[in-house]
Amino acid sequence: MSRSARVNQVILIILDDVRAEHLFKWMKEGKLPNIAQLADNGVSCKNTVTSFPSVTLPCYADIITGSNSGYFPKEGSGVPNYHWIDRTIPSSVKKKPPLIRNYSERRDVLKINKDIGKNVKTIFEQAGDGNFLSATSFLYRGSTFTTSKEFKPELILKRIEDIYNNPKELFSNKEVPKVSVGYVPHTDDLMHKKGFDHPDYINLVIRCDEFIGSLIKTLKETGYYEDTAIAITTDHGNYKAPNIFDLEPFFKEKGLKPYNPIKGSGDFDANLGGVGFFNFRGDSWFHHPTVNQMKEYNTSEIGATKMNLFEILWDIPGIELMYYKDDNNNAEKGIIHLERRDLKINKISRGRIEYSGYGKHQKTKYVFDDDDLFGYVNSEKSCTLLDNKSHTINEWIEATYQTNFINLIDQLPRHFKNPRSCDIMVSNTGLYNYNYEHGHTKGTSPFSHDIASQKSMFVPLIIGGSLEIPKMELEVCKTTDIVPTLLDLLGKEPHSSVLGESVLN
Ligand SMILES: [Zn+2]
The DSSP-derived string for 129-185 is: SS-EEEES-S--TT-SEEE---SSHHHHHHHHHHHHH-GGGT-TT-PPPSEEEEEE-
How remote is the CA of residue 92 from the centroid of ligand 1, in Å? 36
Distance of CA 188 from the midpoint of ligand 1 (Å): 6
Query: How far, in Å, CA of 408 to CA of 49, rounded?
Result: 11
Same domain for 49 and 192, yes or no, is yes
Give the Å distance between the CA of 79 and the centre of ligand 1. 14
> Considering only 1-5, 214-218, 230-234, 432-436, which range has the smallest mean pLDDT?
1-5
8 Å CB contact between 497 and 129: no
For 36-84, give the secondary structure using H, E and C: HHHHHCCEEEEEEECCCCCCHHHHHHHHHHCCCECCCCCCCECCCCCEE
**Spacing, Cα 82 to ligand 1 middle (Å):** 10
Distance 368 CA to ligand 1 centre (A): 33
168 domain residue, yes or no: yes
Distance in angstroms (rounded) separating the CA atoms of residues 288 and 446:
32
Q: Which residues pair with 365 in a beta bridge?
A: 354
Same domain for 370 and 249, yes or no, is yes
pLDDT of amino acid 89: 77
Q: What is the mean pLDDT of residues 176-195?
A: 97
Give domain status of residue 109, yes or no.
no
Domain count, the chain: 2
How far does the centroid of ligand 1 lie from the alpha carbon of residue 416, in Å?
21
Cα of 447 from ligand 1 centre, angstroms: 12
Q: Is 204 inside a domain boundary? A: yes
Give residue 293 CA to ligand 1 midpoint distance, Å.
Answer: 34
Residues 302 and 166 in one domain: no
Q: How far is the CA of 96 from the centre of ligand 1 (A)?
A: 31
427 and 332 together in one domain: yes
Would you call the peptide bond into 413 cis, given omega within 30 degrees of 0 as the criterion?
no
84: in domain: no
Reply yes or no on whether the pLDDT at 304 is more than 90. no
* 221 and 264 part of one domain: no
Q: Report pLDDT for 359.
A: 95
Burial class (CB in 10 A: 0-12, 13-18, 19+), 350: middle
Same domain, 174 and 271: no
Largest CA distance in the chain: 75
**If you measure from the C-alpha of residue 234 to the centroid of ligand 1, how many angstroms do you get, rounded to a whole number?**
8
What is the whole-number distance in angstroms between the Cα of residue 125 and the centre of ligand 1? 23
120 CA to centre of ligand 1 in angstroms = 20
Whether residues 276 and 353 share a domain: the answer is yes
How many Å lie between the centroid of ligand 1 and the Cα of residue 301?
38
Q: Which residues 6+ apart lie within 8 Å of 330 measured at CB?
A: 71
Q: Are residues 330 and 472 in the same domain?
A: no
pLDDT classification of 183: cutoffs 50, 70, 90: very high
Indicate which CATH number applies to the domain containing 171.
Answer: 3.40.720.10
Considering just the CA atoms, what is the radius of gyration of the chain in Å? 23
Helix (H) or strand (E) holding 203: helix 199-221
Query: Would 276 be classed as within a structural domain?
Result: yes
Q: Is the pTM of this model over 0.95?
A: yes
- Residue 87: pLDDT above 80? yes
Ligand 1 centroid from CA 358, angstroms: 26
Q: What is the dihedral of CA 237, 243, 246, 251, to 10 degrees?
A: -90
- d(CA 314, ligand 1 centre) in Å: 28
Distance 130 CA to ligand 1 centre (A): 29
Domain assignment of residue 102, yes or no: no
Cα(115) to centroid(ligand 1), Å: 18
Going from the Cα of 135 to the center of ligand 1, the distance in angstroms, rounded, reads 16
Residues 290 and 255 in one domain: yes
Both 353 and 288 in one domain: the answer is yes
Closest CA to 7 of 286, 221, 262, 231: 231
27-45 confidence digits (pLDDT tens): 999 999 999 999 999 999 9
Q: Find the 156 Cα to ligand 1 centroid distance in Å.
A: 16
Share of the chain above pLDDT 70, in %: 98
What's the gap in Å between 406 CA and the centre of ligand 1? Answer: 18
Helix axes 153-165, 199-221, angle to 10 degrees: 0
Asked whether the predicted pLDDT for residue 210 surpasses 70, the reply is: yes
- Calculate how far, in angstroms, residue 170's C-alpha sits from the geometric centre of ligand 1: 29
Domain of 171, in residue numbers = 9-71+120-238+453-489
| 95 lies in some domain | no
Mean pLDDT, residues 12-20: 98
Q: Are 212 and 13 in contact (CB under 8 A)?
A: yes
Question: Looking at residue 324, what is its pLDDT?
Answer: 98
Measured in Å, residue 62 CA sits from the centre of ligand 1 at: 12
**From the CA of 282, how far away is ligand 1's center (Å)?**
31
Q: What is the mean pLDDT of residues 144-168?
A: 87
Element (H, E) at 488: helix 482-489
Q: What separation in Å is there between the alpha carbon of 169 and the centre of ligand 1?
A: 31
**pLDDT at residue 3 in the model:** 55
Distance between CA atoms of 485 and 78, rounded to whole angstroms?
A: 23
Q: Do residues 124 and 198 share a domain? A: yes
Quote the ligand 1 centre to 56 CA distance (angstroms): 3
CA 52 to centroid of ligand 1, rounded, Å: 12
pLDDT at 94: 66
* Percent of the chain residues topping a pLDDT of 90: 91
Q: How far is the CA of 80 from the centre of ligand 1 (A)?
A: 14
How many whole angstroms separate alpha carbon 249 and alpha carbon 441? 10
pLDDT above 60 for 2: no
pLDDT at 151: 73
User: Judging by beta carbons within 10 Å of its beta carbon (0-12, 13-18, 19+), is residue 326 exposed, middle or buried?
Assistant: middle
Assigned domain for 92 exists? no
Same domain, 350 and 466: no
For residue 60, how far is its CA from the centre of ligand 1 (angstroms)?
7
State whether residue 33 is helix, strand or coil: helix
Last residue of a domain, one of 399, 426, 448: 448
How remote is the CA of residue 57 from the centroid of ligand 1, in Å?
Answer: 7
**84: closest CA among 60, 62, 116, 49?**
116
77 CA distance to ligand 1 centroid (A)? Answer: 17
